[in-house]
């Protein structure tokens, strides 16, 4: 029976899930990706789960409940012909305890007999559920790993501190004209360590702190947005607590933390608009400064940059986080280098 | 930042100490980052502290304006070494390094002796706590009244966090124990009708990694195994660790039709009236349970 089951793949992201399902189909397995997770699925799952649980677990299992509903099948037929392949947690955070939450919600919804294949840090694929889950064969495991890595690169995330992967990303980014290099997790941890000791092991919070401090050091942002799911302990209570203080001590970037709850979108949008307005003002001030240094008005500078086309800022140390200001600054420097007799700031107006 | 209630209380304690530093002077505030806790529970994937408990000293350093060495603006120092209680050699080394930063004259021998004494003192304390816990349970059972185990976490020892629930219960004539006071030595567990395997959670199918999670579940198991034990669960506002255990703790503690009282999301508001009402309602149900237990016990005899 288990070999005939269709594997429903869902729980990582809307990029990962279809790739993982395709990888399994390539190995001859019946597999399909669950549709992107929705707020309605979240609400459905919350009704059966523990309140206060972080919402990635409920989003993931909510997608299964919605899929079961839309399949038009009765519960026992759905459980006999399907299995769910998903992740055992959202990362190294210890809070999640996802598998048990999945079981609770599925049981509450009458799908307690659905086999669940978990992929997590403890084992690549282990069964959970009353029925025997399909066994993941070695070639399928390899295909799934490749799919995860490819998806990670697609969404510009790396889940492992692998220098080779980081180097691969950097080459791809440079070829595509991106100015930011993907930092190795170890480098981010080192940046964060003065404020957040990575040995605390609070999920990926130290990477969040490191990434924000990197933006300060390299002048690559006017706004650091910390977006996290409802109930994410490492992010909402640790990195936010540190970054909200540390970034206040710097002129830029500003800091905004938003917890996604599945509702209250209007509040989040309103806060985002205010933060973006402040960031735009900072960027405008930088452009004004760069324009003055180039002996131009801001309007003239924008005309010049527009005429040169939309080009990325090359890698290297930056004076401004504002892309237009930085491009103008580099043009000014290049012009001065070509005409060394003209001193800095000695424009004709 | 929206932290859980115990974390907020911790920062308030630090603020209070600093505000009264002239009155109660100190140079160093020892506030370690505790990554793992010691526990009698077995069969868990890890015994890590909640990331918030572990990371709060770091957030406190940022919030109170410490420099990278942990020095506060007023000159006091927040000493926050990263300590893993489950690794004795590493613990000794890191603690030594930390203390040497403020007491350079400390020798290795002195440090080792102090650690040995501390460990022995901790053992004595825990043994006496569990011994008295066993005696209290035995007395309550002899009286035909269930002792109440408060399933909480170590920080619930703070009266400001537990809202004096233990005192309320005591005033109502009930024996009350914390999870730590539950006896866990084999001879006590035998008396309670539990086997030593009760402390092993590998049969739960859960990959528990948090020390407090394991202790709560084991506490609920011991309660379930003994006729004259009942449980109240207390959880603080926004405790993410507890959130994933609500259902399972309740299911285990309610086994055999026992009354169980979950008090969730406790914060700085102490709703005296509703709290007393809920405690009295729980005790009323507990008395009915005890009444139903007595005839059964007599028949069994």
pLDDT at A161: 45
Q: B87 and B58, same structural domain?
A: yes
pLDDT at A172: 60
A331 burial level (CB within 10 Å; 0-12, 13-18, 19+): middle
CB contact under 8 A, B244 and A95: yes
Of A200, A246, A259, the CB nearest to B35: A200
Q: B46 and B157, same structural domain?
A: no
Total structural domains within chain B: 2
Overall average pLDDT of the B130-152 stretch: 94
Of B76, B110, B144, which closes a domain?
A: B110
State the nearest Cα–Cα gap between A11 and chain B, in angstroms.
Answer: 18
Q: Residue A325's pLDDT band (boundaries 50, 70, 90)?
A: very high
Q: B27 and B72, same structural domain?
A: yes
Overall average pLDDT of the B214-243 stretch: 91
Q: B59 and B9, same structural domain?
A: yes
Of A96, A237, A244, the CB nearest to B52: A237
In-domain check, residue B116: no
Of B66, B88, B110, which closes a domain?
A: B110
Q: Residue A90's pLDDT band (boundaries 50, 70, 90)?
A: low
pLDDT at A2: 45
Least confident span in A192-206, B27-41, B85-99, B224-238: A192-206
Q: Which residues of B154-177 are buried (b: 16+ CB within 10 A; e: fewer)?
A: bbbeeeebbbebbebbeeeebbbb
pLDDT at A337: 81
In-domain check, residue B195: yes
In-domain check, residue B139: yes
Contacts A205 to B, Cβ<8 Å: 51, 55
Overall average pLDDT of the A192-206 stretch: 84
pLDDT at B193: 75
Whole-prediction pTM: 0.80
Complex ipTM, two decimals?
Answer: 0.76
Whether residue A112 is predicted with pLDDT greater than 70 in this model: the reply is yes
Per-residue pLDDT tens over the stretch A214-228: 999 989 899 999 988
In-domain check, residue B246: yes
CB contact under 8 A, B45 and A202: no
Put simply, whether A5 touches B (Cβ < 8 Å) is no
For residue B228, give the CATH number of its domain: 3.40.50
Q: Residue A345's pLDDT band (boundaries 50, 70, 90)?
A: very low
Q: B202 and B223, same structural domain?
A: yes
Three-state SS string over B157-215 comes to: HCHHHHCCHHHHHHHCCCCEEECCCCCCCHHHHHHCCCCHHHHEHHHHCCCCCEHHHHH
Least confident span in A125-139, B88-102, B123-137, B269-283: A125-139
Q: B288 and B195, same structural domain?
A: yes
In-domain check, residue B117: no
Q: B57 and B104, same structural domain?
A: yes
State the nearest Cα–Cα gap between A59 and chain B, in angstroms.
Answer: 15
The DSSP call for residue A200 is G
State the nearest Cα–Cα gap between B148 and chain A, in angstroms.
Answer: 24
**Among B101, B65, B66, B81, which residue's Cα sits nearest to residue B30?**
B81
Could you tell me which residue, A85 or A160, shows the higher pLDDT? A85
pLDDT at A166: 61
Q: B282 and B147, same structural domain?
A: yes
Q: B183 and B93, same structural domain?
A: no
Contacts A95 to B, Cβ<8 Å: 50-51, 240-241, 243-244
Q: Which domain holds residue B206?
A: 122-300
Q: B74 and B10, same structural domain?
A: yes
Q: B193 and B95, same structural domain?
A: no
Strands B147-151 and A31-33: unpaired
pLDDT at B3: 81
Q: Name the 3-class secondary structure at A204.
A: coil
In-domain check, residue B115: no
Of B77, B110, B143, which closes a domain?
A: B110
Q: B149 and B270, same structural domain?
A: yes
CB contact under 8 A, A94 and B48: yes
């Amino acid at each position: 029976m288990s070999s005939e089951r269709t594997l429903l793949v869902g729980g990582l992201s809307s990029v990962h899930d279809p790739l993982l399902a395709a990888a399994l189909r390539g190995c001859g397995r019946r597999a399909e990706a669950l549709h992107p997770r929705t707020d309605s699925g979240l609400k459905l799952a919350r009704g059966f789960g523990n309140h206060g649980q972080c919402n990635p677990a409920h989003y993931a299992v909510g997608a299964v409940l919605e899929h079961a509903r839309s399949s038009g099948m009765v519960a026992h037929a759905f459980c006999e012909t399907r299995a769910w392949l998903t992740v055992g947690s959202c990362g190294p955070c210890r809070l999640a305890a996802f598998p048990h939450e999945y079981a609770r919600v599925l049981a509450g919804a009458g799908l307690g007999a659905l086999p669940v294949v978990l992929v997590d840090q403890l084992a690549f694929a282990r069964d959970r559920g009353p029925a025997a889950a399909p066994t993941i064969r070695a070639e399928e495991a390899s295909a799934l790993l490749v799919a995860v890595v490819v998806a990670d690169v697609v969404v510009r995330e790396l889940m492992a501190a692998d220098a080779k992967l980081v180097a691969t990303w950097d080459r791809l980014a440079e070829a595509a004209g991106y100015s930011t290099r993907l930092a190795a997790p170890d480098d981010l941890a080192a940046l964060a360590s003065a404020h957040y000791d990575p040995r605390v092991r609070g999920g990926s919070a130290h990477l969040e702190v490191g990434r924000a401090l990197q933006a300060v050091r390299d002048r690559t942002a006017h706004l650091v947005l910390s977006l996290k799911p409802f109930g994410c302990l490492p992010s909402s209570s640790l990195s936010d607590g540190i970054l909200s203080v540390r970034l206040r001590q710097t002129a830029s970037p500003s800091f905004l933390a938003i917890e996604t709850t599945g509702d209250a979108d209007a509040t989040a949008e309103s806060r985002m608009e205010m933060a973006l307005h402040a960031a735009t003002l900072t960027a405008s001030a930088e452009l004004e400064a760069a324009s003055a240094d180039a002996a131009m008005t801001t309007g003239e500078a924008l005309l010049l940059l527009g005429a040169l086309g939309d080009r990325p800022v090359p890698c290297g140390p930056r004076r401004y986080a504002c892309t237009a200001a930085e491009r103008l600054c580099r043009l000014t420097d290049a012009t001065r280098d070509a005409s060394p007799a003209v001193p800095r700031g000695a424009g004709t107006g | 930042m929206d932290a859980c209630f115990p974390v907020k209380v911790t920062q308030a304690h630090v603020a209070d100490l600093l505000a009264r530093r002239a009155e109660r002077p100190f140079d160093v505030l020892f506030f370690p980052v505790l990554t793992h806790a010691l526990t009698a529970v077995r069969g868990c994937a890890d015994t890590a502290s909640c990331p918030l408990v572990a990371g709060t000293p770091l957030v406190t350093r940022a919030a109170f304006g410490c420099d990278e060495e942990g020095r506060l603006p007023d000159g006091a120092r927040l000493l926050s070494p990263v300590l893993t209680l489950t690794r004795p050699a590493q613990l000794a080394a890191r603690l030594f390094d930390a203390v040497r930063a403020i007491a350079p004259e400390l020798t290795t021998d002195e440090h080792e002796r102090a650690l040995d004494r501390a460990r022995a003192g901790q053992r004595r304390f825990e043994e006496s706590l569990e011994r008295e816990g066993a005696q209290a349970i035995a007395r309550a059972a002899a009286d035909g009244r269930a002792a109440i185990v408060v399933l909480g976490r170590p920080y619930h020892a703070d009266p400001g966090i537990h809202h004096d629930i233990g005192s309320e219960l005591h005033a109502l004539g009930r024996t009350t124990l914390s999870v730590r006071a539950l006896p866990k030595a084999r001879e006590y567990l035998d008396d309670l009708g539990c086997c030593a395997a009760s402390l092993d959670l590998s049969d739960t199918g859960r990959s528990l990694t948090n020390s407090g999670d394991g202790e709560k579940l084991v506490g609920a198991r011991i309660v379930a195994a003994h006729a004259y034990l009942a449980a109240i669960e207390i959880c603080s506002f926004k405790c993410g660790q507890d959130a994933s255990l609500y259902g399972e703790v309740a299911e285990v503690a309610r086994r055999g039709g026992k009354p169980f009282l979950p008090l969730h999301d406790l914060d700085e508001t102490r709703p005296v009236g509703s709290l007393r009402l809920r405690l009295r309602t729980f005790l009323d149900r507990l008395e009915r349970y005890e009444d139903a237990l007595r005839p059964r016990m007599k028949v069994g005899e």
